[in-house]
Chain A
Amino acid sequence: MRIEHLQIHGFGRLHNREIDLSDGVTILYGRNEAGKSTTLQFIRSMLFGIPSRGNPTERYEPMQGGLHGGILKVCDNNGGLWTIRRHTSGGDSSGRNEKLNITVNHPNGTTQELGQADMERILLGGISRSMFHQLFAVSLDELQELAALQSEEMSSFLFHAGMGGGGTIMRAERRLVQEAEKLYKPRGKLQEAAKIVQAIEKLERQMAESRSYLPRYNGNIAALKVAESELEQLEQQRKLTGDKLVMLRKAQDVRELWLKWSDAQLELKGLPMITTFPEDGAIRFQELEGEIRNAQGAVARYERLQSELTAEMALNPPDAVLTAQGPALERLDRHRSSYENLRAERQRLEGELTALNEQLQRILRGIDVSWSAEELTAFSGAAADREAARRFATAFASYDRRMEAEGAARQTLRSRLAAASASLQAAERALAREHATGAESFAQLAPRSAREVLQLWDELQQAAERWREAQLSEGPLRGPGAGSDGSSAQRMAALYRRLLWAGAALTVLLPTALWLTGAPPVSAVLAIGLLGAADLALWAGLSGARRPEASPPGHGGDVGTAAAEMLRLRGQLLSGAEPESAITPGRRSNAAPGASPDAGGLEASMRELRRLMEAWSAWRQRIERYAAERDACRTELDTLAGQEKLLAEEMSRSETAFTQTAEQYEEWLRERRLPEGLSPEGLPDIFAMVEQGNELLRQENKLSLRLKELEDECNLFEEELLALVYESGTDPLDETGVAATSFDMNPQDGQRRSALTLLSWLEIRKRAWDELKKDLVRREGIQSRLQELLEELKESHRVLDEFREQRDLLLHEGGATGGEDFLRRSAAVQRRSELNKSIRQWELAMFGGWEDERVASLKVLLDHHDASALQKERTAAEELAEREEAMWNTLLEQRGKLLQEREYLKERCMEDSVIQQLEEQRAALRIVADKYAVAALTAELIGRTRRIYEQEKQPQVLLLASDYFSKLTEGEYKRVVMTLGHKELKAEHKDAGLLDSGLLSRGTAEQLYLSIRLALAETMSRQVSLPLLFDDLFVNFDEARLHAALSLLGELSVSRQIVMMTCHKHVAEAAARIIPTAAVISV
């Protein structure tokens, strides 16, 4: 096919352009954007349709608008001219609405209108749109798209038809290998084959045993045969040995017997022949002898017994007296206990009587010593007596009470009297002491009466007042002096006063306290006295102190007169103590002169005086109080003394009444002969005692009567007993005898003891009587036995005679001369019969059940061998037998084992299927091997075919491509290879060998791709030879390769139209130069 003419109505930037293309090479040379690529697109669109709006980059809408499309004129190989008109149908919407008109003018002149499909088929030889783009109208971009080569469509060209690029082949190969390896793999353990092989190996090991069965069986048969024959031989041997052993054993067993038998035979020959002899003669003889001996013994025994009994009878004759007394003794013995009771009773009663007497005596003594039983019975103890006694008692009691009360009152009075006199004394003493103290302390005071003194003092004081008043108007110097004296006296007086109060208080309180404490009146009186004295002293002290107080006179008025007045008064006051004031006036004179002129001295003396006066007035008060006290005490003393006198009179009157009553009582007592001095209170006791005494007397009488009765009974018993004692005077018992004598000698004293001895005598006597009774019974027994003995003795004598007779008869029968001879003969006869019997027994024991022949040989054996020889032979034979037995057993065992083995083998071989199993495993292995072989062979076949394909039988395309590539690279590369399955494109360098296309340089790679495309194009469109349209493909080619490429294209252009678009001048020029026929069209 050849494109002749392009008429572009509107396509991209091209508008109403017409291009004529020649045969061979046409070069469209132009600057960029000249429309070279658009032209390429235009041709594509014309042939395969204008791309839809959905693909605007390839649609190439006319830029200036207008008609979109054009006309392409193509000449086919047959010379037919194709005119393809194609325009888009307006602008309406999507889709490929285009107007297409294809007409073919055949050379024969016919014209035909065809559709797109027909055109593609006829004109383009069925090349698809994409393939056209990839192979025939190629731009640089598309050249480098290797993927294009891998499309299904093209790979069928690159590879061989139906191989789909070899993927299936590879897969199949792989699968086969896997399958095969699943079945078998060298040294694999898990594969089917390996398992089977293992099983085979195992079975083969078992095979060895399996195969051994037959030889073993053969061996077994042979061995069994041998064993059987050996057994047979041994059996015979054993029989012989056994016989011999039996013989020997028998010989040994019977040897003892045999020896005896031989001896017996010899002895038998030596014994005398005795034809007749009584049967069991010896025994019978001996029996008789024995009987005789027995009888003799019996006789002797009986005689001895007789004599013994007779002697015993004679030995102890019975006591006649005792026999006579016997019954009486028994009776007494029976009464003995009652007698003893009687005696005990008697004793008790006697004791009681004595006790009664004693009590009576005591009571009598209790009443009065002179009293006896007569008085007692005489004393009535009537109710009148009792009344009198009570009256006396009351009288005495009332007298006692009165006397007691009066005595007590008198005693009180006396003590009060003593106390009063004591207090009087104390008061007197205190007064005296106070007087004395006052006299001492106030000596300086003129002994005037107290009233006078006080009067003086008042005056003095007044005088002092006046003086002071005067003084005040004159001078205050003098005042204080008088005060000082007065104050000291006052202090003294206060002290005394306090002491006095305390002493008085004590004097008053103490008696009361002493009364309360109950101190003896003397000490109380003493204490009161002392206190009273102390009080008085204090009182005196106080008076003394008071006195000077009164003495100093106070002076008042005007100083001079006052002072003088004072001094006068003072002088009056103190006149009594002139000597004393001699010193004092000295001082005072100093003072006084001073005082009159100076008031100081006056004042001081005034003060002293005041003090003195105060003490004096206190003392005066004390004196007065003590005096009053003394008077009170004296009055009380007198009252008390009167009272006491009255009381004493009363008491003497009572005394007289009492004496009268006492005399009456004395009289009463005498009348009743009661002891004198008995108080009326004791009388009831006496009455009680009298009563008791009378009671006792009655009891005594009763007891005495009873005692008498008892005494009589006892005496009766004792007398009876004594009669017996005397009767048995010959009684050998000493004690009784002594008792009897002592009884005679000492009747009163010995009564008690005699009773005892009598009783013991009775006891002994009774016991003797019992003994005697027993003895009598025994004697009777002996007597009867003696009678029996005599009879038996007679019988024994008779039997003895009988036996002796029999013996003599026997001796005669045995033909013996005497006993010894008879025994000898008997022994001989017995021996013979014994020997005969033994011989028969032994023979039976030795040879019983044996046939004569063997018996004979046994006898020979015994004759010829002694014991040791027999033993030796026997041992030898036994050993032999043992050995044979052992061998026999071994052989039997062996045979048993062999038989067992045989059975075992038979059984085993029945079950044995190892060989068959092995065969089966081999068959299984065969099957596996078959499968493996087929799989492996298939893989091998495929592999080999693949290699043929890859190496030898390259597809046409690749061969061509190799050729082109070689040309393009000027022989640098030799071949293009496409591996199967992996679809790897490889180039074979002349030196470096196969190289992966990815490793080639950009230019070389493009050359490779170009080669392949050229080859593909050449191959695929062989019939229609489509034109090639290349859009500037050589930009990366060096000059040499460019030239090579161009010259190649030149070659190809012979059979194919080639259109090259380029913007490179050197390309265009080179093309023009290298391809002379090329037409260069500038656009």
Chain B
Amino acid sequence: MTSVHPNSTTTTRFARRFLISLSRMRRPITLGPPSDEEVCRRTRRIKLAAYSSMARAVGSRRAWSRALLLKVRNRVRFQGILRNRFLASKKKRVIKRNKASGEMNKTDMLRKLVPGGETMDICGLLEETAHYMASLATQVKVMQSIVDQYSK
């Protein structure tokens, strides 16, 4: 198995994309401190930007990044014009299979956490989790350093 850790190119790509999207979201400082609702809204947008730039930096190599990108794209088009028809039917079958046990066990929780996790079997799910975890860690690292920069 190849290493799960994102290499430095991925990290730099993510940082760059994220910063670009952040700079697009700047609000004029003359408006004063942001209201709660605005902060909420901005938080969500920033979070979305972080995840999508991470997924783009990773590329289509991993299943979770593909699933994330698909999700983002589908949301953007509002009603999922791009929804993958093939995937829909396969998903139903796989979800049914994965739900074989009646109750909610840990695997299901993991599936919910990892993007694209519902259509995977356990083996693939664990692998994707590993990679996803590593990328989340880099995401946190980069964002933390950005925050540090801004608060200096």
Q: Do A and B come from one complex?
A: no
Binding site for A on B (CB under 8 A): none
